[in-house]
Amino acid sequence: MDTDRYFQYALWLGYFTIAFNILEGVISLGFGISDETLTLFGFGIDSFIEVLSGIGIVAMILRIRQNPDTPRSTFEKTALRLTGFSFYLLSVGLLVTAVINIFSGHKPENTLAGVIISLVSIASMWALVSAKRKVGRALNSQPILADANCTLICIYMSLVLLVSSFLYMLTGFGFMDILGSIGLIYFAIKEGREAYEKASGMDTCHCSEISA
């Protein structure tokens, strides 16, 4: 596969990421509202924020395809700042709702949807990480490899949803949903900070490296 085809492959991965997150967001929000599950609802909001991030990634791929040495465009920086702000806003919203749920004693109706959605998300995101790493190595592109590593945070957030949803199914302990939302807050803040750092010209990602 030549360089141009690898870049085309990278673009298709970007388009798939956007489409997947839109679908995941719609389904997660629907079940999060109907089942009154804060963690799943927050996960759905996160999916829509990832759409903003995905649009920025597609713009990045188009830019480095033309000239790998060019700086980030104004569009990319704006998308990153908007993504960062959205993650911080999500964190505040989840924190406020979690506190309200603690004092009201609110419990989810059902968390089965959270288990299923998280399992599908983990499998899909891991496949994306592997594919992005393959493309990044073939093109010797650090920005694409950094994006692949940052996709790991999506897997971590899916694991938070899986664990909290599954443990609630087993125990019926209402605080499991609140603990899950706190886990999402941690990763949302992390993603928000990284988005702002990238907008400032830093291409690093603070997520852990996992061998492909």
pLDDT in tens, the chain (212 residues): 588 889 999 999 999 999 999 999 999 999 999 999 999 999 999 999 989 888 988 988 888 888 777 777 788 888 888 888 999 999 999 999 999 888 888 889 889 999 999 999 999 999 999 999 999 899 888 888 888 887 888 899 999 999 999 999 999 888 899 999 999 999 999 988 988 888 887 655 555 444 44
Domains located in the chain, CATH noted: 3-199 (1.20.1510)
| Residue 168 and residue 31 in contact, taking contact as beta carbons nearer than 8 Å | no
Q: Which residues contact residue 23 at a Cβ distance below 8 angstroms, ignoring those fewer than 6 apart?
A: none
Pick from 21, 80, 91: nearest CA to 50: 21
Which pTM does this prediction carry?
Answer: 0.84
Q: Residue type for 201, please?
A: G
The tokens of 171 are what?
């125990």
Give the residue carrying structure tokens 């480095």.
64
Q: Compute the distance between CA of residue 55 and CA of residue 40 in angstroms, rounded to an integer.
A: 23
In terms of C-beta distances under 8 Å and separation of at least 24 residues, what long-range contacts does 72-77 make, across chains too? 72/198, 72/199, 72/201, 76/199, 77/199
Residue listed under structure tokens 């990634």: 57
Positive/negative CA dihedral, 83, 187, 154, 203: positive
Greatest Cα-to-Cα distance within the chain, rounded to the nearest angstrom: 59
Supply 61's token pair. Answer: 């791929």
